[in-house]
Chain A
Amino acid sequence: MNEQIIALNGLTKSYGKHRGISDLSFSVNAGEIFGFIGPNGAGKSTTIRTLMGLIRPTGGSATIFGLDCQTQASEIARNVGYLPSEDSYYENIKVHQLLQYTADLYGMDCRSKINDLAARLDLDLYRRISDLSLGNRKKVGIVSALITSPKLVIMDEPTSGLDPLIQQVFYEILAEENRRGTTIFLSSHVLSEVQRLCDRVAILKDGQLVGIQSIKELRESGYKKVSVTSKSAIPNGFFDLAGIADYKESADQTSASFMYNGNITSVMDKLHSLPLQDVFLEEPSLEEIFLHYYE
């Protein structure tokens, strides 16, 4: 299961003054569900579009299945299902015609899979694409990406526009595909989605890779969220300890909250010396850990 399906080696794309991506290097293993997280404009779509051979990198290289993403894009595409972030398809045809076109482009008979996925996602195959809502367009994209039973699925913001019930079904479908051996690479800024689905995540900030961690590691990074309420004002610089981040206090300085990954005894000693009214020591949500990366 350690076969590398996707490998980026110093991948760079610059747009002159505009930010692109810079020196991205990581790999995705076979059978993995790999998340790619970052806020809007971090470079997620640029990375994915470079992987799909849509745009040419200005530096570095990327391979999928050991094939070069730029020169062998069409060979790679044979085994890849791709869901773009933009849910735009040919407007003047019906859903079943578009999906049939997708199947024809792959040279496959996908009728049973089309019907199965459409039924599960509650997608009307006989509606015109131009009449579809954002959510229904997303469903078309999901079905289009999965009907060929690809070895790798690349999805850019897959659940934007989907209602919670359909999201649930979508997660189930992805889990089934993954159990079947499909590697899944998805970008998102919805952390609960990544937390729920992914084995590992790459965090992107300003076009650069901040880190790659397993979800388990990310959670076990040692960060604790500490919330304190004191009977009297907390003196300035009272929590001036190594390992404190994202420190916030109330206007009257009686309550404070922060992230902490230092020696737990040190913070406990500090807390002991305060006239405490209340204290919470919590495991931070992935979102809080993630936001911490962006400080």
Chain B
Amino acid sequence: MVIFKYEIRNHAKYIFIWAIALAACIFLMIPVYYSLLNGAESSANPLYETLGSSDFFQSVGVSMEYLTAPLGIYSFLTSFFMLASGIFGMHFGMSIHTKEFSGKTSEYLFTKPHTRREIFCAKALTVLCGVLTVSISFIGASALSLCLFQPGFDGWEFFLVANSLLLLTLFFSALGLLIGVMFSGNRNPLLTAGLVAFAAYCTTSFSRIVGSKAISFLSPYSYFSAAEISHTGFYAWDYLVCCVLLAAIFLIAAYRLFLKKDVQFRS
């Protein structure tokens, strides 16, 4: 608990900056995008016709029909915020380990009367709290903005779409924890996180355009499609199970490796 408290205190600023940034952006972008695309009767809007017929919307998991639904534009926006939150989750998961290496503080922390299990759990719990804070603030700001500027949406559907961001961020944070433990000498975790998240995002876009389900399993962005949520009223079960299973595997692998691995030292 001591380590957890310290880690939370140490990362509070970082977490709050991400939380406020995402919350403020979604809060401001919802009214802007809705007013931009709802200027005329939805489907008659030439913007819908132009954008909706392109592969672009398909690649971000929003269909033309869904775009005109009350939560269509929100889902479209969330798909981009998921890229940012994926980077955040992965960067946080990685850097909470790599920081000890780059700051040369491993020797301080690992020689105190706390087991590696305690250290890992404290760090993982800190990442979980950070991800929850950022995601909840995003969901809260989204709900507030929609209530103010676009009332009359389906609450459950909104929750599922918004919650996709939380699940995806958790997935990436578990992956980040594993990569952080494996490559604790990584000196640029933000670049790594950005590259991995962007590659995953592109993989999903590609899989949707070519219509390959096998490829879609390679990227967590495929697991949460707003159109699918609107159509079935829940996440696709196969993707959800895959997401939970992979995240659990990443977490367990990170934990087991953390217990066994030599502490890395920067000379």
Contacts and interface: CB of A to CB of B under 8 A. Distances in A.
Interface of A: 49, 52-56, 73-75, 77-78, 80, 82, 84, 86, 88-93, 101-102, 104-107, 144
Given A86-B265, A88-B103, A105 B113 contact: yes
Contact of B112 (A89, A91, A92, A102): A102
Interface residues of B, number: 22
Interface of B: 2-3, 6, 10, 103-108, 110-116, 118, 260, 262-263, 265
Contacts of B103: 88, 90-91
Given A104-B2, A105-B2, A88 B108 contact: yes
Q: Report, nearest first, the 7 A-B pairs whose CB atoms are least far apart.
A: A88-B104, A84-B107, A78-B113, A55-B262, A105-B112, A77-B113, A54-B263
21 contacts: A52-B111, A54-B262, A74-B114, A77-B113, A80-B111, A84-B111, A86-B107, A88-B103, A88-B105, A88-B107, A89-B105, A89-B108, A90-B105, A93-B10, A101-B2, A101-B6, A105-B3, A105-B114, A106-B112, A106-B113, A107-B113
A53 B110 contact: yes
A107 B112 CA distance: 11
Contacts of B112: 74, 77, 102, 105-106
Contacts of B108: 84, 88-90, 144
Contacts of A56: 260, 262
A73 B260 CA distance: 13
A225 B108 CA distance: 43
Nearest to B3: A105
Given A74-B113, A78-B113, A90-B103, A55 B10 contact: no
A57 B111 CA distance: 16
Nearest to B6: A101
Given A84-B111, A88-B103, A105-B114, 17 more contacts: A52-B107, A52-B110, A74-B114, A77-B112, A77-B113, A77-B114, A78-B113, A80-B111, A86-B107, A91-B103, A101-B6, A104-B2, A104-B6, A105-B113, A106-B112, A107-B2, A144-B108
B263 A55 contact: yes
A55 B263 CA distance: 6
A256 B41 CA distance: 105
Contacts of A77: 111-114
B260 A54 contact: no
Nearest to A52: B111
Given A92-B10, A104-B2, A54 B104 contact: no
A93 B6 CA distance: 11
Contacts of A91: 103
A52 B107 CA distance: 9
Given A55-B262, A55-B263, A86 B104 contact: yes
A89 B6 CA distance: 13
A190 to B, nearest CB: 20
Contacts of A52: 107, 110-111
Given A90-B10, A105-B2, A82 B104 contact: no
Contacts of B2: 101, 104-105, 107
Most chain B CB within 10 A, of A56, A86, A91, is at A86
Most chain A CB within 10 A, of B10, B111, B113, B260, is at B111
A158 to B, nearest CB: 14
B107 A54 contact: yes
A200 B101 CA distance: 34
A104 B1 CA distance: 10
A93 B10 CA distance: 9
A54 B106 contact: yes
A84 B3 CA distance: 20
A108 to B, nearest CB: 10
A2 to B, nearest CB: 27
Contacts of A73: 115
Contacts of B111: 52-54, 77, 80, 82, 84
B151 to A, nearest CB: 44
A37 to B, nearest CB: 20
A80 B3 CA distance: 19
Nearest to A51: B111
Contacts of A89: 105, 108
Contact of A54 (B6, B110, B114): B110
Most chain A CB within 10 A, of B2, B3, B108, B118, is at B108
A6 to B, nearest CB: 15
B106 A74 contact: no
Nearest to A13: B262
Contacts of B263: 49, 54-55
B193 to A, nearest CB: 21
A182 to B, nearest CB: 17
A44 to B, nearest CB: 14
Contacts of A82: 107, 111
A88 B100 CA distance: 10
Contacts of A80: 111
